[in-house]
Amino acid sequence: MQISAAESAVMEALWRSHPASAEQVVAALAGTRHWQQATVKTLLNRLLRKGAIAAGKQGRRYLYTPLLRREDWVLEESRHLLDRLFGGRVAPLVAHFSEHRGLSRKDVADLRKLLQELENDEH
């Protein structure tokens, strides 16, 4: 399921707190996005058509709940990024960040720990 950057902002708000009305989503995004309620409703309708969220009527308003789990979306987005930019390989991704963004000592320590855990799992 392809989710645009704008749609992902709405999804993040719903993953943090749901069910939520359009007004609540607007309020949740107010610190980072200055979208009108009509914009948020458009994005919610797109997400409904894609099957990423569900809507239930409560009185005169709709409450929205995510159907797509954040973990599943992150996994799929990560796979697409790796495939598209690095031929599906993780090592070139890490090398890219190391060269262009720098890795902190903590990043390097975390990577070493992860590699050690992976090696231990193989044995």
pLDDT tens-digit series, residues 42-75: 999 999 999 999 999 999 999 999 999 999 999 9
What average pLDDT is seen over the chain? 93
Residues spanned by the domain of 58: 5-66
Helix axes 5-16, 37-50, angle to 10 degrees: 90
Residue 58 pairs in a beta bridge with 61
Q: List strand residue ranges (DSSP E) for the chain, in order.
A: 53-58, 61-66
Total of domains in the chain: 2
* pLDDT 10s digits, 77-91: 999 999 999 999 988
Q: What is the CB neighbour count within 10 angstroms for residue 111?
A: 13
Q: Is the predicted pLDDT of residue 97 greater than 70, yes or no?
A: yes
| Shared domain check, 79 and 57 | no
Out of 30, 48, 66, a domain closes at 66
Q: Quick check: pTM over 0.75?
A: yes
